[in-house]
Chain A
Amino acid sequence: MTLTGKDLISTKDLTREDYEYIFEITKRIEGRNAQGLTHVLPDRIIALLFFEPSTRTRLSFSTAVKRLGGETIGFSGEEATSIMKGENLADTIRVVEQYADAIVIRHPLDGSAKYAAQVANIPVINAGSGAEEHPTQALLDLYTILREKGTIDELTIGLIGDLRYSRTVHSLLYALTNFDVTVYLISPPLLKLGESIKGHLHEKGVHFKEFDNLADCISELDVLYVTRIQRERFVHPEEYLKVKDSYKINMKTLSNAKENLIVMHPLPRVGEISHEVDNTSHAVYFKQVRYGLYVRMAILSMIFGREDRITG
């Protein structure tokens, strides 16, 4: 299997073999603690096009490129907003590809990364497209599970929060269809997973169950994946506050959990997980960030066919 010259747009495009190979390369990078690898991409320039603010994902990609010896160009924030107003996406891509060897794109519209990849002649990595997908986040989530639990198969994985609009949840679910897992979907009725993704899970034979309350299934979980519930999804503020409180993870919520349950979060969090959880062995969300760096380094080296430069 090879990612050389390919785009990474959706976790739907990856097979079990692909995941295993990506994790193998990631493990090599982790083994070296991401050090001494600046000989991997010393002659490569990566464009980071962030049409939507995302400090964390941008920092992660930017660090990954630099740890591999590459350079970055690009824009974000206000500059991105003014580019978006003045020029269509196709033109921006055609200009940027004259300078860079690969593009990492974050864009607020659904399907934007796929379209960018269609326009571009260089590899495109999706760093978050609309409410739709965020494949590198899903890859680092899976790698976290693998490293912390020793396996992905045979686990019971709970996803809680905004399942309707969270692109990380969507990409993670598509990815999980390649593994033998049981998925519990825990959310308020308003934020339940969309029908089209549920249809996809059915088609792929994934065992999943929906819950309104975490208390009804917490004792069965090996992994709890927490996402942010956003105020703007609710028409009435009181409804938001009610939901927000009932989905908060704290020591009390975790009292019935398995001792080796891991709690994950794509970050940033705004009170979904109480700080008292941070110092328990359940909390792996900061480790996730570190694994994310390794995973993104693996993907970047692979799209240039340079993974053989990373020796274990």
Chain B
Amino acid sequence: MEQKLKIDKIRDGTVIDHIPAGRALIVLKILGISGRESNVITVAMNVKSKKFGKKDIIKIENRELTMEEVNKIALIAPSATINIIRDFNVIEKRKVKVPETIYNLIKCPNPRCISNKENEPITPIFHLKSESPLTLVCNYCGEIIPSDWVVKSLTRGL
């Protein structure tokens, strides 16, 4: 028998589904959601899934995330789907896509890169080189960033 998800449907807001199990907290961090916001945020981890075995789900009430905000999570949850909910109905369902340029999210692994210089007012910028396998290139030093570094860099401090 299918396990029933023990969280209610939301009236308005955003549901992020099909997050790889265990990555919900990283997703929240990328989205800049700390829990200090006033709206209700529900996080479900290790939910049974036909497709993935296990998955995480995040429900954010009364806030419709833009694709620009949400695409960044494709870096660690490329399988995630975004459902925009209005009055209990899914009015929009989309897959996430890694943005062509990623600002201020990841640190360059090259210690000799100018973007790692202390006291420099520099925004780390990466360009998408390939989606699968996920490969980014540092805008400044040209270093190629493999996906495991991206995950490591994003999970730091969690």
Chain B at the A interface: SS class: loop
- Does A115 interact with chain B (Cβ within 8 Å)? yes
Given A132-B141, A132-B142: A111 in contact with B113 (beta carbons within 8 A): yes
- Does B119 interact with chain A (Cβ within 8 Å)? yes
CA distance A108 to B116 in the complex (A): 13
Q: Select A109's contact among B117, B119, B138, B139, beta carbons within 8 Å.
A: B117
1/0 contact trace for A176-216 toward B, CB 8 Å?
00000000000000000001100100000000000000000
Cβ of A88 and Cβ of B144 under 8 Å apart?
no
Which residues of A sit under 8 angstroms from B110, Cβ to Cβ?
Answer: 110
CA distance A131 to B143 in the complex (A): 12
Which B-chain residue is minimally distant from A114 (CB atoms)? B140
List B108-158 residues whose CB lies under 8 Å from chain A: 110, 112-115, 117, 119-122, 138-144
Cβ of B144 and Cβ of A196 under 8 Å apart?
yes
Given A196-B142, A196-B143: A111 in contact with B121 (beta carbons within 8 A): no
Which residues of A sit under 8 angstroms from B143, Cβ to Cβ?
Answer: 110, 196
Which B-chain residue is minimally distant from A90 (CB atoms)? B121
CA distance A209 to B120 in the complex (A): 40
Q: Select A110's contact among B112, B120, B122, beta carbons within 8 Å.
A: B112
1/0 contact trace for A121-144 toward B, CB 8 Å?
000000000111000000000000
A179 shortest CB reach to chain B, Å: 21
**How many residues of chain B are within 8 Å of chain A by beta carbon?**
17
Cβ of A114 and Cβ of B117 under 8 Å apart?
no
Cβ of A88 and Cβ of B119 under 8 Å apart?
yes
CA distance A112 to B115 in the complex (A): 8
CA distance A114 to B143 in the complex (A): 13
Which residues of A sit under 8 angstroms from B139, Cβ to Cβ?
Answer: 111, 114
Cβ of B120 and Cβ of A111 under 8 Å apart?
no
Q: Select B141's contact among A88, A89, A110, A199, beta carbons within 8 Å.
A: A110
Cβ of B113 and Cβ of A89 under 8 Å apart?
no
CA distance A130 to B141 in the complex (A): 9
A113 shortest CB reach to chain B, Å: 9
Q: Select B120's contact among A88, A130, A196, beta carbons within 8 Å.
A: A88
Q: Select B142's contact among A88, A89, A90, A111, beta carbons within 8 Å.
A: A111
Q: Select B122's contact among A115, A131, A195, beta carbons within 8 Å.
A: A115
Q: Select A89's contact among B112, B114, B138, beta carbons within 8 Å.
A: B114
Cβ of A111 and Cβ of B141 under 8 Å apart?
yes
CA distance A88 to B120 in the complex (A): 5
Which residues of A sit under 8 angstroms from B122, Cβ to Cβ?
Answer: 90, 115
User: Interface centre among B113, B120, B138, B141, by most A CB within 10 Å?
Assistant: B141
CA distance A109 to B110 in the complex (A): 10
Which residues of B sit under 8 angstroms from A107, Cβ to Cβ?
Answer: 114
Which B-chain residue is minimally distant from A170 (CB atoms)? B142
Cβ of B117 and Cβ of A110 under 8 Å apart?
no
Which residues of B sit under 8 angstroms from A108, Cβ to Cβ?
Answer: 112
Cβ of B121 and Cβ of A110 under 8 Å apart?
no
Cβ of B115 and Cβ of A111 under 8 Å apart?
yes
CA distance A49 to B133 in the complex (A): 40
Which residues of A sit under 8 angstroms from B112, Cβ to Cβ?
Answer: 108-110, 130-131
B106 shortest CB reach to chain A, Å: 15
Cβ of B115 and Cβ of A89 under 8 Å apart?
no
CA distance A273 to B114 in the complex (A): 34
Cβ of A115 and Cβ of B114 under 8 Å apart?
yes
Which B-chain residue is minimally distant from A12 (CB atoms)? B142
CA distance A90 to B123 in the complex (A): 12
B19 shortest CB reach to chain A, Å: 31
On B, residues with C-beta under 8 Å from A are 110, 112-115, 117, 119-122, 138-144
On A, residues with C-beta under 8 Å from B are 88-90, 107-112, 114-115, 130-132, 195-196, 199
When A and B form their complex, which 10 residue pairs have the shortest distance between CB atoms, in order from nearest?
A111-B140, A110-B141, A111-B141, A111-B114, A109-B114, A112-B114, A196-B144, A115-B114, A88-B120, A110-B112
Contacts A/B (CB < 8 Å), 6 sampled: A88-B119, A90-B120, A110-B114, A114-B140, A131-B112, A196-B143
**8 more A-B contacts (CB under 8 A) besides A90-B120, A115-B140, A196-B143?**
A88-B120, A89-B120, A107-B114, A111-B114, A111-B139, A114-B114, A115-B114, A130-B112
